[in-house]
Amino acid sequence: MSEGIRPICMPKWGLSMKEGKVAGWLVDEGESLTPGDEVIDIETEKISSAVEAADAGVLRRCVAQEGDVLPVGGLLGIVADESVADADIEAFVTDFQANFVPPEDDDDEDGPATETAEVAGRQIRYLTKGEGGVPVILIHGFGGDLNNWLFNHDALAAGRAVHALDLPGHGSSSKDVGDGSIGFFADVVTGFADALEIEQAHLVGHSMGGAIALAVARAAPAWVASLTLIGSAGLGGEIDGAYLEGFIAAERRKDLKPHVEKLFSDPALVTRQLVNDLLAFKRIDGVTAALGTVRDAFAPGGAQAEDLRAVAGTVPTLVIWGAGDQIIPASHAEGLGDGVDCTVLDGQGHMVQMEAAAEVNRLIDARVG
């Protein structure tokens, strides 16, 4: 009966998401979808984004309506071919709703849980999704954590293992950042890969994470299957030093929010919860000091210390930038030469992998094969 019927369900963005609110459908009932099309806008207390179509087909039913709050896994809509009978779709919906059990509040066992690897005496938290293939390692930027890949991790994990880690000093990893240099972090990434016995990997780095990926490729080009550099550091001198300074110094919501808003093209995405989560991280003992150490090594005096442009293209390299990036200018994507594919997305900012997740996922997917 349910053959050819594919539900669109409330996604789980990040480990703590329990429910989401329908902000609005982006596609009308009866329209055709191709995979990657943005179908419905969902708001959570942390972040808002669009759910993309996973399958081709017709949006046959918008089950949830604007304003509805659904638990993770709840039925949003139905995609099916034209040929499927309305009665079958009705039956599927009735059956789904009758059998749907929302996940228990403190039951995270249904989703993947983070794990911890020990690298050079430090605890490194990471999250693995998918399996097989040449694995992908996702490396976040300064002040970020593995949740920066919220809208990418699942999509990329279809068909391969994808590991997102928290760098030292970030997320839930140890707060000791050594000398805080790009080289230090590159060694951590290499050590992390060794701990997971990864023989070759595609590296995807955002911002400072891009510079780290470049440094890994410089040290071990054969080990790196490809580089994807998103709003990347390491490709030029300029960086918004005031952002780094402000991010470290801010102790309260009000002080932090304007800095975080610079990361996004749509400042409305910076919800109170997002700011609170960043503050909760920054307030952990040792974090501010660690971030200060990193800043001093990575961008002393408000300019990037390490020039890794020559590394780009030594392995297959994809560069993605938001044209309106306020942290590291998109002009750094220019003139990178052979072996480097560049895509600059109009109207996007520094967190382009979150705000234009569908496009970024498609580009990475094409690159890593």
Partner 1 sequence: MARTVTYQQAINEALAQEMERDETVVIMGEDVAGGLGTDGERDAWGGPLGITKGLYGKFGDRVMDTPITESAFIGAAVGAATSGLRPVAELMFIDFMGVCFDQIFNQAAKFRYMFGGKAETPVVIRTMYGAGLRAAAQHSQCLYPVFTHIPGLKVVTPATPYDAKGLLIQSIRDNDPVIFCEHKALYTLEGDVPEEPYALPFGEANIVREGDDVSIVTLGRMVHVANEAAAALAGDGIECEVVDLRTTSPMDEDTILETVENTGRLVVLDESHPRCNMATDIAAMVCEKAFDSLKGPIKQVTAPHTPVPFADTLEDLYIPDAAAVQKAVKAVMESSK
| CB closer to partner 1, 148 vs 173 | 173
The whole-angstrom separation of Cα 361 and Cα 150 is 11
* Contact string 7-26 vs partner 1 (x = CB under 8 A): ---------x----------
Beta carbon of residue 337, minimum distance to partner 1 (angstroms, whole number)? 43
**Does the annotation mark 154 as catalytic?**
no
Question: Could you tell me if 92 and 163 are in contact, meaning their C-beta atoms sit under 8 angstroms apart?
Answer: no
Cβ neighbors of 97 (< 8 A, separation 6 or more) are 75
Q: Is residue 303 within 8 Å of 326, Cβ to Cβ?
A: no
- Does 280 bind partner 1 (CB under 8 A)? Our answer is yes
Q: Is 194 labeled as catalytic in the residue annotation?
A: no
Q: Tokens 């928290």: give the residue.
A: 166
Total site size for partner 1, rule CB under 8 A: 16
> Is 176 known to be catalytic?
no
**Distance (Å, whole) CA 143 – CA 278:** 8
With residue 288 as reference, give the H or E element that holds it.
helix 287-298
First to last CA, the chain: 34
Query: Taking the complex as a whole, how short is the minimal distance between the CB of residue 175 and partner 1, in angstroms?
Result: 8
Site stretch for partner 1 (CB under 8 A), options 78-86, 92-100, 189-197, 281-289: 281-289
Closest by Cα among 292, 327, 294 to 206? 327
Q: How far apart are CA 55 and CA 144, in angstroms?
A: 31
Catalytic residue among 153, 163, 170, 350: 350
Q: Name the CA radius of gyration of the chain, rounded.
A: 21
Separation between Cα atoms, residue 66 and residue 41, nearest integer Å:
9
- Please give the single-letter amino acid code of residue 85: A
Side-chain half-sphere CA neighbours of 200 within 13 A: 10
Give the x/- contact pattern for partner 1 in 171-210, rule: CB under 8 A. -x--x-----------------------------------
The interface region with partner 1, picked from 127-135, 136-144, 233-241, 284-292 by CB under 8 A, is 284-292
Q: Pick the catalytic residue: 49, 207, 232, 265?
A: 207
Stretch that binds partner 1, among 206-214, 277-285, 313-321, 340-348 (CB under 8 A): 277-285
Which residue from 242, 284, 310, 366 is in contact with partner 1, where contact means CB under 8 A? 284
Residue 40's Cβ-count burial label (10 Å; 0-12, 13-18, 19+) is buried
Q: How far is the CB of 303 from partner 1 (least distance, A)?
A: 31
Nearer to partner 1, 160 or 259 (CB): 259
Could you say whether residue 3 binds partner 1 (CB under 8 A)? no
Q: Which is nearer to partner 1, 197 or 252 (CB)?
A: 252
Asked if 288 interacts with partner 1 (CB under 8 A), we say no
Q: Which amino acid, 262?
A: K
Q: Is 338 in the site for partner 1 (CB under 8 A)?
A: no
Q: Which of 68, 131, 251, 266: binder of partner 1 (CB under 8 A)? A: 251
Residues in the site for partner 1, rule: CB under 8 A? 16, 106, 125, 172, 175, 251-254, 272, 276, 280, 283-286
